[in-house]
Amino acid sequence: MHIDRCYCFQKTFAELKAVAEATGAASVEALQAEAVFGHNCQLCHPYVRRMLRTGDTVFDTIVEAADEPPTPQPARTPSD
């Protein structure tokens, strides 16, 4: 098994990592504002979260949402 991209949009995790490093995007949502991926089946989302956390761009095991849950977003304050 060799998982290295968002298959629906043919965007490699290496490409997405470069975008994250260039823009400072630190979540799937922030990265989606900078690159087109992950808008269909979303099976790539936990892989992208792991990539953002570890820097890995190629995966040999299945990573599911429960394995790599979204990072809790900071609570919004009334001044936001």
The stretch near ligand FES (CB under 6 A) out of 4-12, 26-34, 55-63, 64-72 is 4-12
Least Å distance between CB 40 and ligand FES? 4
6-45 mask for ligand FES (x: CB under 6 A)? xxxx---------------------------xx-xxxxx-
Give the count of beta carbons closer than 10 Å to the beta carbon of residue 32: 16
Rounded CA Rg of the chain: 13
Provide the 8-state DSSP code for 12. E
Closest CA to 6 of 32, 30, 24, 26: 32
Which parts of this chain interact with ligand FES (CB under 6 A)?
Answer: 6-9, 37-38, 40-44
